[in-house]
Amino acid sequence: MTQKDDYLKLLQRARSLGATPQQSQGRFVVPQIEGFIEGNNTVISNFADILKKVRREPDVVLPWMLRELGRPGDMEGGRLILRGAVPKATLEKVLNDFVSTQVLCSECSAPDTHIEKQGRAHILRCEACGAHRPIEAASRVATPSTQRAAVQEGDTLQVTIDDVGKRGDGVARYEGFLIFVEGGMKGQTIRVKIDRVNGNMAFAHVVPG
Ligand SMILES: [Zn+2]
């Protein structure tokens, strides 16, 4: 048992007693990500702490992050281990998106919200002002790790390029894979042939049709 675990326990108890660790006044500050690259993985070492701060369970946050990042990953002892090297800026963007769509009240910007299930709909309800809005249910989204075989060398796939990589390749997301397409341009929906697969990244070229 580390000091950090003790701290988290305390925090949890404080919350169950009705205390709120965030101030309702002022802007909610998205938690800082503490992370590092370890071998072929990216480790977010304070993931449990982030979960506490955004007041969401792992089964809501984890599938969201994996889908947005397009890569497999898992929680291990309060840390989030992601396959591959993920730039910190990317992690921060995904966490920011999560907070703005799944945590903050769109009326008063308070972080004091919770998710209610109404039939198949998920409602984000604000405890500060009572406002509510429907949200996308992140927990229903399949995680990439269950679909890892969806892209294999030699496959021909139709993909949509939604980003451009550092070296100018088009980047498409497909069933949890990131596909780098030589010569692919942002916005294109094209057929590609997979040349090489590395973890959940694949490299492809455009084919006619
Ligand atoms: Zn509100």
Span 18-48, pLDDT tens digits: 444 444 456 789 999 999 999 999 999 999 9
∠ CA 88-90-94, nearest 5°, is 120
Tell whether 190 is covered by a domain: yes
Q: How far is the CA of 18 from the centre of ligand 1 (A)?
A: 18
Tell whether 120 is covered by a domain. Answer: yes
Looking at the chain, the whole-number percentage of residues with pLDDT higher than 70 is: 82
Domain that holds residue 40: 3-12+19-140
Ligand 1 midpoint to CA 195 (Å): 49
Q: Measure 62 CA to ligand 1 centroid, in angstroms.
A: 25
- Give the total number of structural domains in the chain: 2
Q: What angle do CA 42, 159, 203 make, to 5 degrees?
A: 50
Is 120 in the same domain as 177?
no
Residue where one domain finishes, among candidates 140, 166, 195: 140
The Å distance, Cα 24 to ligand 1 centre, comes to: 10
> Please, which residues bridge with residue 205 across strands?
182, 193
List the one residue out of 47, 51, 62 whose CA is nearest residue 144.
62
Q: Which 3 state secondary structure label does DSSP give 52? A: helix
Q: Identify the CATH number of the domain in which residue 87 sits.
A: 3.30.30.170
CATH assignment of the domain containing 189: 2.40.50.140
Please tell me the predicted confidence (pLDDT) of residue 62: 92
Mean pLDDT, the chain, rounded, equals: 85
Q: Are residues 68 and 112 in the same domain?
A: yes
114 and 161 share one domain: no
Task: State in Å: Cα 60 to ligand 1 middle.
Answer: 21
Is residue 44 in some structural domain?
yes
CA of 112 to the centre of ligand 1 (A): 8
